Each structure stands twice: as structure tokens, then as C-alpha cells.
């Protein structure tokens, strides 16, 4: 009997057909809305594999209903939507899709940084709203990127890829990370500093750390007070790492200059969210890895991990390797 798998969003036909060759597939056919929780709960007891997105909360309550589940293949590099500990306890493998999205996400992060520094969205709206009367010396003046100091919090794969871009802009690169990266320090002349020094000295503070209980509210009011008045905060990691209320207050009170956000604590961010009222906040709907090629590669890798998992092989991107001891 073929293993059965649940796929929580419509993927390309080529990828679905590849999975169908060896599995019975249940797929939530809607491209634009997440699978309803009730449906997820009703299907989870019967499947051997789950391919899901960051929009699904794979918590203990759901996992308690899973009787045959061997693998949860998340189509994302981050997997904070999954209770990995509960999965591990139940002997369920968890995988993610690293590497294939590194450069694309770094591109978006740098684009967001530049758009925020040079007020691109505000300037475009200004023109379209018919406000452009004349070239004017100080009109829509922003902050320089070239030669500025960037502070990267979390020097993982994507952080390093952002640092490479920063090097091309002759930026002074500071970073803070759990461990030092001597290769990055040598290659990119990046300087390891403590957290507060990074906040105090950076013109751009770029959040690149994974989201966990440890990094929740990593940046709060006290940290904005340490930052430069001209500082720009960029977050393309996860919303909950930065306290949004404190960020709003810091922006309104001119403690920092601007923010570029691709991620929010609650997604989709409610349209009446206070941060969306500010001109000096550039907001994006969580599109860090959203190039056509990269999203196809992520789906393909998620499918590969899923198939390896349901077939009892060690998947390529196992995040809870201790679970294998149970097989």
C-alpha cells in the first residue's frame, strides 16, 4: 500500500505528480487560503506524511491526533510553526528547506534595507499622488547605504549572504551571533561585537536570527534607546523577534529613523496595525524567499524530504536528528 500524505497547499503539478507516483495524496487545493484547522485535524490521523507551510501551526494538540505520521516537511527554512519537541517525543521527523532560499532572501533583505534608507515607497507614492512640484534640494532625502555601518544579528547562512552584499557597498560590518565565524570575519572583514555595541554603533540593524523562545522579544524598548537616532531596523526573519509596540513607540518618539519589515507577529498583519500608519516604515507581506525559481526549489526540496521520510530514509534536511534513534 502506498503511504498517504497531506499537502496543505496547492503546489505545482510537476511536484504534486512526483509525489503521486509513490503516495496517496490529499491536497488542500486552494492556493491563497490556508487549510482550515478542522480539516487538518480530521486528516492528520490517517496520513504518514505532512507537507506544510509556515501558515499551519503544527502543535502538540494536533500531533496528539497523528497516529501514523512519520514526517513533517515544512516548506520554509524557519520551523517555529512546529512544536519540534512534541514531534521528536512522538518519533516524528521534522524537515525544513534551507540553502535554496539563502541568496533570494538576502536579496530581499538588502532591497528592503535600500528601499527604507532611500524612502522608495514613500517617494513613489508622492509622485503618483501628484505631489511632485519641482526638484528640490532636500526633498525626500534619506540615509546613505554605501559606507554605512550594518549590524547583523544572527550570522547564519542568510546573515552571511547579507554581509556579502554589504561588503559590496563598502559597509562596515558588525555582527552578533551565538558563536564567532572566523571565516566571515576574514573574508568580509566583519567584526564580532556584543549585542549592545551592535545596537549602539549600527546605522542599519538587521535581524537575521531564527525565532524561538530565546529570541522572542529580543529587541524591545530598552534596545531602541541604545540605537542611533538615524538607525534603521530591518526585519525579514520573524515578527515576534522585535516587539512591535516598542518599535512603534521608538519610531514615533524619533528614537530611531525608520524600519523595514517583511514579517509581523501576526500574519497577515491587520491593516489597522499602528506600524502601517507610519511613512517611515516600509512593509512587505513576508516575501523574503519569493522569487519564482526559489519557491519552486523550496517546494521541490520539501517534496524530496517528504518522500524520503515516508519511505523510512533519512531526509536531507532533518532538524531533529535525535528522532532517528527511534527508528
238 is a catalytic site residue: yes
- In the numeric block, the cell 512522538 is attached to 90
**Contact present, 175 and 151 (Cβ < 8 Å):** yes
When asked if residue 78 is in the footprint of ligand GLV (CB under 6 A), the reply is yes
Strand order from edge to edge, sheet including 232-235: 190-192, 172-176, 149-153, 204-207, 232-235, 258-261, 281-283
37 is a catalytic site residue: no
| Nearest CB to ligand GLV, comparing residues 56 and 203 | 56
C-alpha distance from residue 83 to each of 61, 139, 235 (Å): 10, 49, 23
Cβ 157 to ligand GLV shortest distance, Å: 11
- Alpha helix positions (H), 137-260: 157-168, 182-188, 195-201, 221-226, 244-252
When asked if residue 77 is in the footprint of ligand GLV (CB under 6 A), the reply is yes
Which residue among 119, 176, 223, 286 is the active-site one?
286
When asked if residue 8 is in the footprint of ligand GLV (CB under 6 A), the reply is no
Stretch that binds ligand GLV, among 12-20, 70-78, 122-130, 131-139 (CB under 6 A): 70-78
Indicate the pairing of strand 204-207 with strand 149-153.
Answer: parallel
- The interface with ligand GLV within residues 263-292 (CB under 6 A) comprises 288-289
Stretch that binds ligand GLV, among 29-37, 73-81, 140-148, 274-282 (CB under 6 A): 73-81
**Nearest to 282, CA basis, from 130, 143, 120:** 120
Cβ 113 to ligand GLV shortest distance, Å: 17
| Nearest CB to ligand GLV, comparing residues 87 and 148 | 87
**Contact present, 174 and 152 (Cβ < 8 Å):** yes
Stretch that binds ligand GLV, among 30-38, 72-80, 157-165, 173-181 (CB under 6 A): 72-80
Q: Which residues bind ligand GLV (CB under 6 A)?
A: 54, 76-78, 101, 288-289
Amino acid at each position: 500500500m502506498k503511504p498517504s500524505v497531506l499537502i496543505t497547499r496547492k503546489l505545482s503539478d510537476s511536484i504534486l505528480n512526483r509525489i503521486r507516483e509513490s503516495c496517496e495524496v490529499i491536497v488542500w487545493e486552494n492556493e491563497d487560503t490556508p487549510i482550515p484547522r478542522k480539516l487538518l485535524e480530521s486528516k492528520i490521523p490517517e496520513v504518514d506524511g505532512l507537507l506544510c507551510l509556515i501558515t499551519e501551526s503544527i502543535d502538540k494538540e494536533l500531533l496528539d491526533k497523528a497516529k501514523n505520521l512519520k514526517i513533517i516537511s515544512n516548506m520554509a527554512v524557519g520551523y517555529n510553526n512546529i512544536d519540534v519537541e512534541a514531534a521528536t517525543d512522538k518519533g516524528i521527523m521534522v524537515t525544513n528547506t534551507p540553502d535554496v532560499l539563502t541568496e533570494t532572501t538576502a536579496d530581499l533583505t538588502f532591497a528592503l534595507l535600500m528601499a527604507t534608507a532611500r524612502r522608495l515607497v514613500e517617494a513613489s507614492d508622492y509622485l503618483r499622488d501628484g505631489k511632485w512640484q519641482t526638484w528640490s534640494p532636500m526633498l525626500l532625502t534619506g540615509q546613505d547605504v554605501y559606507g554605512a555601518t550594518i549590524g547583523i544579528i544572527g550570522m547564519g547562512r542568510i546573515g552571511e549572504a547579507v554581509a556579502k552584499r554589504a561588503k559590496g557597498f563598502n559597509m562596515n560590518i558588525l555582527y552578533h551571533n551565538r558563536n564567532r565565524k572566523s571565516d566571515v570575519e576574514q573574508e568580509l572583514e566583519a567584526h564580532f561585537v556584543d549585542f549592545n555595541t551592535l545596537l549602539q554603533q549600527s546605522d542599519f540593524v538587521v535581524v537575521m536570527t531564527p525565532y524561538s523562545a530565546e529570541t522572542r522579544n529580543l529587541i524591545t524598548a530598552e534596545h531602541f534607546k541604545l540605537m542611533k537616532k538615524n538607525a534603521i531596523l530591518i526585519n525579514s526573519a520573524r515578527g515576534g523577534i522585535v516587539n512591535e509596540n516598542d518599535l512603534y513607540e521608538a519610531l514615533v518618539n524619533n528614537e530611531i529613523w525608520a524600519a523595514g519589515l517583511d514579517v509581523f507577529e501576526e500574519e497577515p498583519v491587520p491593516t489597522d496595525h499602528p506600524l502601517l500608519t507610519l511613512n517611515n516604515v516600509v512593509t512587505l507581506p513576508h516575501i523574503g524567499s519569493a522569487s519564482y525559481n526559489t519557491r519552486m526549489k523550496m517546494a521541490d526540496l520539501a517534496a524530496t524530504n517528504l518522500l524520503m521520510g515516508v519511505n523510512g530514509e533519512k531526509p536531507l534536511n532533518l532538524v531533529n536528528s535525535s528522532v532517528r534513534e527511534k527508528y
